[in-house]
């Protein structure tokens, strides 16, 4: 079917794969949990032929979590359940985090949230605008911004509206 699969261990390796797709569609993935719902929201005729699948679950740069005076920061590969735990553990400093964490608990079940990344949910929504993502709603309400690495290795900061465009 022309599919390719990669599992880079560094961000440099990922960028190398991403820059050499040869016109094929690049699909970064962590746990591939979106496959369970894709069949309900995909458009007729959608195909995976010629895709370049890249498992980003081994990239340490995408697993970070931290909090500073600007807010909370989560790497793209951080599972939703870890986001919930982090928000709850820091809710004494920022009471709104408790509310955000409780809303994220409505997304999927614990088993899925334990492996599915928060960013995967957002990017699934970007690819399937008809999918109504609670994560996107939560992040939009919180005024979240996203640091996105472009193929020329530049980081661009954007809001949810720009990210989904």
Digit-coded pLDDT (tens) for 146-156: 999 887 889 99
Closest CA to 132 of 106, 100, 158, 99: 106
Interval 22-37: pLDDT, tens: 889 999 999 888 888 8
Task: Indicate the average pLDDT of the chain.
Answer: 92
Three-state SS for 46?
coil
**What residues contact 84, with CB distance under 8 A and at least 6 apart?**
101, 104, 105, 113
Interval 119-140: pLDDT, tens: 999 999 999 999 999 999 999 9
Interval 38-94: pLDDT, tens: 878 876 666 666 899 999 999 999 999 999 999 999 999 999 999 999 999 999 999
- Name the pTM for this structure: 0.90
7 burial (CB, 10 Å; 0-12 / 13-18 / 19+) is middle
């Amino acid at each position: 079917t022309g599919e390719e699969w990669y599992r880079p261990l560094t961000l440099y390796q990922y960028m190398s794969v991403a820059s050499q797709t040869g016109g094929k569609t690049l699909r970064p993935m962590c746990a591939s949990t979106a496959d369970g719902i894709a069949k309900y929201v995909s458009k007729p005729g959608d195909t995976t032929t010629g895709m370049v699948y890249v498992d980003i679950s081994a990239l340490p740069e995408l697993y970070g979590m931290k909090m500073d005076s600007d807010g909370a920061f989560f790497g793209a590969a951080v599972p939703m359940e870890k986001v919930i735990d982090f928000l709850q553990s820091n809710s004494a400093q920022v009471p709104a985090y408790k509310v955000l964490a409780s809303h994220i608990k409505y997304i999927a079940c614990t088993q899925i949230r334990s492996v599915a990344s928060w960013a995967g949910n957002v990017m699934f929504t970007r690819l399937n605008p008809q999918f109504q993502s609670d994560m996107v709603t939560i992040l939009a309400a919180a005024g979240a911004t996203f640091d996105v690495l472009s193929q020329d290795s530049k980081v661009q900061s954007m809001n949810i509206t720009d990210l989904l465009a």
